[in-house]
Structure formats: structure tokens, C-alpha cells
Amino acid sequence: MIIQKTENSRISSFDPENYSFGDHFTDHMIICEYENGAWGEAKLMPYGPLPFSPSNMAFNYGQACFEGMKAYKDSSDEVYLFRVNKNFERINKSAKRLAMPEIPEEVFVGGLKALMDIDRAWIPTGEGKSLYIRPLIFATEEGLKARVSNKYMFAIVAAPATSYYSAPVSVKISDYYSRAASGGVGFAKAAGNYAASFYPTQLANDEGYEQIIWTDDSTHEYFEESGTMNVFVRIGNTIYTPPTSEKILDGVTRDSFITLAKHKGIDVRVEPIAVKDVLAAQKDGSLKEIWGVGTAVVTTAFKSYGYQGENFELPVLSEEESFALSLKKALVDIQTNAAEDPFGWREKVEKDVLQTV
């Protein structure tokens, strides 16, 4: 790895008590370029802009995918990553679907650990705080030709993170727009998936909802995801979540929630969730919770939902009563080294990683 440390750290200008999600970036970034059929040597370098032409093929034809990860500090100021192998596997799954070259493990994992080590001072501590990490791959060849690019860039950037939502949100169940279609790229973290979701979300915002529960593209009768999150529904004391598919992202937080719930003895059913069943549970009083999970938010509880002009309130539960909140606490405790990790998910970032890369 080529290492170029910044000569002017910006850490003194960062206030760890006053910042918002994703607005500040650490001193360094990882860059690795692909050309002539091979990935070059990774570079750790000062964070900053890169020169690109408007004819860059990523801008014109959308070859771009990314991951979302976090690093955490414990009470002893040690740094930990979480389920890195899952993100490594998924970025390459996304890259393959978008006809982009897969990134080597030594570049992804080695670059990630080197960046976390050198910028560990940027990782905030405290409830709901972490360092959000964005690995991404995108085309860089210049050319207005609708074909696969011959050049790519892999990058990792990181930003201090705080709570994404400060309170439970209201959501609208979509009966027209869909997030993904059969045969498409819904299972990949393709940049275009997010661009296509913004307009329907704006429409929902105009109606007073913060987010959307996406339904299937053919019938709009089944839950798929919510906003940029996987979705969970609790009816009685059973948790339901849709199975992953070519339309639903295989979320790392989703998988972690399922594993933790089963570990706690909670009945979890990975099966389609019909809108009519949710409405029936609402009517008979057995609908207890609906929530979303994802790396950025960890967990977002829903306070109400709208469907075809009607609005429905969800019960207000304490942390002890709520499956969503109790599972969130269990997960964050593992991530921050505040609890035992029976699953081997947590990975410590050793100091002076740069001496070994």
C-alpha cells in the first residue's frame, strides 16, 4: 500500500458534540484504480476532491455501487469493526451484477483497517455515535458509449455518525411505486437504486410521512423494504420479515437482528408479509411494532403508517416491551464491546496497522 499522510489534520475543527450525520469527513481516504484488466496498488492519501470529466461513464451509465459500514470505540478507546466479511462479499456481489470487476480482499479489508487505524481519532464515543464507512466502486473511463467501462476506482471514505433519526417516524405503505423489480438490481447496493427512490419519498414527505414502505412491483400486496432499510413487523410475540430475493437487499443489520432474536428465543418467521395481514392485525389489536433496520440507522421504530388515505397509529412501547429497541440495544452492545459477542461478529482494529500493510 502506498501511504501519504496528511500534513494538515482537520480533527481540531471537528466538534464531537455538535455535528450531523455524514457532513464531516476524516483526514484520509483509500483509493485503488483498475485499468488494463487489473487492480493497481491501493493508496492511503489525504481526503479531498478527485479530477473527473463529465464524460465519466459512471455519471452517464450508472456503473456504481457501494457499502455501508461502521467502526465503534469502546470504553477503553479501542476500535472495532463489525461483520466485515459480509460487506466484502456483498460489494462484490453488487459489482458483479453491474458488470464491474470484483475488488480483492486484501484491498478491501487491508485498506479498511489501515484507514480506521490512521483516523481512529475521528471515531466519536457516546450513545448512538460511531464512524460511518463508505466503500464504493465506480466507472472512471471517459466515453459516451453505452457499454461496460474499462476503468474503475475503488474508494473508502468515512464520516463521523450520530443518530440518523432522533425519534420514531411515520411511513406510507406504497400502493403504486416500487423500489425494485424482478430481474433488476434490488439485491445490489447500486447507486441508482437510491436515486430512483427519492421522488416517491418526496411525494410521501409532502403528505406528512418521513419514509415509505415499499411493496412488490407486480401486485403491491406485500411488504419488501422501508426507505433504505429492511423492514420487520411484530404481530403478537412473533417477528416477521420478508425473505431476501433479487428485489430485497441482504442487509447485514437484518441478518444480525434475525440471529439475535432467535438467540433470545423469539419466534422469527422469514416469509412474505401481506399488507392485508398487517391491516387485520391492526384491527384486532395484535399488531405491536413495525420497524426498519440498516447500518446507518441501526433501528428506526415507526410510530404510525398510512395506507390508501387512512392513517394508523402503532402502540408506544418501552424498551423492555419493544422487541425492536431491546434487539437494537443487544446489537449495539456487541458492536461497542459492551457485551460478549457469541457470534464472532466484532473485530478489533489493531494499532499501527500501517506498519504491516
Predicted local distance difference test score (pLDDT) of residue 38: 98
Distance of CA 42 to the CA centre of its chain: 24
Predicted local distance difference test score (pLDDT) of residue 352: 80
Average pLDDT on 123-130 reads: 91
Could you tell me if 110 and 357 are in contact, meaning their C-beta atoms sit under 8 angstroms apart?
yes
* pLDDT at residue 17 greater than cutoff 90: no
Predicted local distance difference test score (pLDDT) of residue 115: 98
Q: Where are the domains of the chain?
A: 2-162+346-355, 169-316
Chain-wide mean pLDDT for the chain?
95
Predicted local distance difference test score (pLDDT) of residue 247: 94
Burial of 165 (0-12, 13-18, 19+ CB in 10 A): middle
Half-sphere exposure of 85 (CA within 13 A, CB side): 4
What CATH class is the domain 169-316?
Answer: alpha beta
Predicted local distance difference test score (pLDDT) of residue 21: 87
Cα(51)–Cα(57) distance, rounded to whole angstroms? Answer: 14
Report the candidate in 226, 247, 202, 341 with the shortest Cα–Cα distance to residue 293.
226
Residues 6+ positions from 181 with CB-CB distance below 8 Å: 217, 247
pLDDT in tens, 37-84: 999 999 999 999 999 999 999 999 999 999 999 999 999 999 999 999
pLDDT in tens, 166-175: 789 999 999 9
Average pLDDT on 328-357 reads: 90
pLDDT band for 355, please (50, 70, 90 cuts). low
Predicted local distance difference test score (pLDDT) of residue 340: 97
The amino acid at 292? G
Average pLDDT on 212-220 reads: 96
Average pLDDT on 117-125 reads: 96
- Yes or no: is domain 2-162+346-355 CATH 3.40.30.10? no
Q: What phi, psi does 23 have (nearest 5°)?
A: -100, -15
* pLDDT at residue 165 greater than cutoff 80: no
Average pLDDT on 148-176 reads: 93
Average pLDDT on 177-197 reads: 95
* pLDDT at residue 353 greater than cutoff 90: no
Buried b (16+ CB within 10 A) or exposed e, 180-214: beeebbbbbbbbbbeeebeebbeebeeeebbbbbb
* pLDDT at residue 12 greater than cutoff 70: yes
Residues 6+ positions from 151 with CB-CB distance below 8 Å: 33, 34, 35, 139, 140, 141
pLDDT in tens, 98-114: 999 999 999 999 999 99
Predicted local distance difference test score (pLDDT) of residue 20: 86
* pLDDT at residue 357 greater than cutoff 60: no
* pLDDT at residue 251 greater than cutoff 90: yes
Report the candidate in 133, 238, 228, 140 with the shortest Cα–Cα distance to residue 186.
228
* pLDDT at residue 356 greater than cutoff 60: no
